[in-house]
Amino acid sequence: MYNKNIYYTLGVITFFVLFSVFFIKPPLDFPSGTIFKIDEGSSLRGVSLKLKNSNIIRSRLAFEAFVILFGGEKRTMSADYFFEKKLPVFEIARRISKGEHHMAPIVVTIPEGFTMAQISDTFLLKLSNFNKNKFILEAKGLEGYLFPDTYFFLTNDDETSVLLSMKENFKKKIAILRSDIASSKQSERDIIIMASLLEGEAKGDIDREFVSGILWKRISINMPLQVDVAPVTYKTRGLPNSPIGNPGMEAIKAAIYPKTSPYLYYLHDRNGVIHYARSFAEHQNNIRKYLTR
């Protein structure tokens, strides 16, 4: 009886050792530091086969069983997964079923005033799945409403993810200013258009509100805006029909709350310093003094 118990115990131990070696432990040639991509719509069977062929798991059966155990049998998270070291099959299954990528996010910063074309060029360099033409098509009519900011994306994010994030960010930022916009007696559309002009015309926080005041004053006296960032303003009066770029928060605030001044003209010298003028004659004198040396 004693010998039978020993054999039974040894048999159980042997079984678990073999089970661990052949089903649980990672393969000897596990590709540590690899990025494993799961495509959209991949089936559990398809993922397990790809993992097996990539030497990330020993047993497809064990992987699929653990995925089901972790509740991920109906959905394998499409994404890129980083396996930094040899991992047992249950950890591989857990990460994939829970969508734990272990990927460092891709950081993308969009400066204030960037146009849709500039935004698309920036993301094209950062995200491998980003389609510039699709982005421009899907973003049609949204110039001015894609908030410039620092964004964090996963490696498999595409133009749709980018557009959604930037639109939602704009909605969140503008919601804080809705009552301010209503108090300004200007429409949100006009505020955004003016802010997009200010991003190009002003050189910083100091002169942004004064330039805003001057431009709103020109509109009020039916004078053409004549701003260099929008050539159409030399030919027609009033604001352009749409924003010329995507303004940031400070430009939007300056459009809402312009500074009143006696000035009607301004220019920036070669060092970026602004010079104001009350009359066209004074403005011409500033041009000769600061720009025609």
Q: How far apart are CA 18 and CA 108, in angstroms?
A: 48
- What is residue 11's predicted lDDT score, i.e. its pLDDT? 44
Count the neighbouring beta carbons within 10 Å of the beta carbon of residue 150: 8
Q: Which of 157, 122, 120 is nearest to 139 (CA)?
A: 120
Q: What single DSSP character describes residue 73?
A: T
Q: How far apart are CA 195 and CA 182, in angstroms?
A: 16
- What is residue 4's predicted lDDT score, i.e. its pLDDT? 54
Provide CATH code, domain 2-98. 3.30.1490.480
- Architecture in CATH of 106-179: 2-Layer Sandwich (3.30)
Entry pTM: 0.74
Q: How far apart are CA 91 and CA 111, in angstroms?
A: 40
3-state SS class at 266: strand
- What is residue 286's predicted lDDT score, i.e. its pLDDT? 94
- What is residue 82's predicted lDDT score, i.e. its pLDDT? 87
Count the neighbouring beta carbons within 10 Å of the beta carbon of residue 170: 20
- What is residue 206's predicted lDDT score, i.e. its pLDDT? 78
Count the neighbouring beta carbons within 10 Å of the beta carbon of residue 252: 27
**Centroid of chain to Cα 192:** 20
Q: Where in the chain is the domain with CATH 3.30.1490.480?
A: 2-98
- What is residue 101's predicted lDDT score, i.e. its pLDDT? 83
Count the neighbouring beta carbons within 10 Å of the beta carbon of residue 280: 10
- What is residue 20's predicted lDDT score, i.e. its pLDDT? 46
Q: Which residues neighbour 293 within 8 Å (Cβ) at sequence distance 6 or greater?
A: none
Exposed, middle or buried by CB within 10 Å (0-12, 13-18, 19+), for 66? buried
Q: Which residues of the chain have pLDDT under 70?
A: 1-23, 72-76, 293
Count the neighbouring beta carbons within 10 Å of the beta carbon of residue 124: 14
Q: Which of 99, 104, 102, 105 is nearest to 47 (CA)?
A: 99
- What is residue 3's predicted lDDT score, i.e. its pLDDT? 55
